Amino acid sequence: MLVPWTPLSPSRRERGLRRIGQAFGFLTSAALLSAAVRSDPFDPLPALAAVLALLAGLWAGRAASPESLEVGVDRAGSLTVRRMADSGSVPERLQCVFAAPWLITLKRGTIWIPIWPDSVPAGTWRRLWVHLRWSSGRPPADLPAGSAPGQT
């Protein structure tokens, strides 16, 4: 493994940004509801839309149970992920969707996996960042016959 299996932990930075977004959405919904109620010829449709927007924001902001994942880079240079409970399972390959000094976003099927700098140890963050920044994205030509990318 070029980058050993590293468990992803919850990010305080992500949680803080999510709370800021929720507060902004709540204030926007409250302002829209206030404007709809104060309108001279009262129309219940805008007020209902503001209440529905507020409820949708509360529903979307609820805490989801995060899946316990481990990420790593195998000897073939592929980003891989596995469930922490299934350490014997076959790792799945990941595709990098976005990589910046403040966030790495990987894609597994239809699921996006955000990796924040405070969700992994600092050394692992640097190794992942360097790997993503300098890898060409092509599988290496010197893979042994019969081995599949993602296997160690």
Q: pLDDT at residue 151 above 70?
A: no
Between 150 and 70, the more confident residue is: 70
CA distances to 25, 30, 56 from 52, in Å? 12, 11, 6
3-state DSSP assignment of residue 38: helix
- Measured in whole angstroms, the distance separating CA 38 from the mean position of its chain's CA atoms is 40
Q: How many Å apart are CA 103 and CA 97, to the nearest integer?
A: 11
Q: pLDDT at residue 137 above 70?
A: no
Angle between helices 12-38 and 44-60 (to 10 degrees): 170
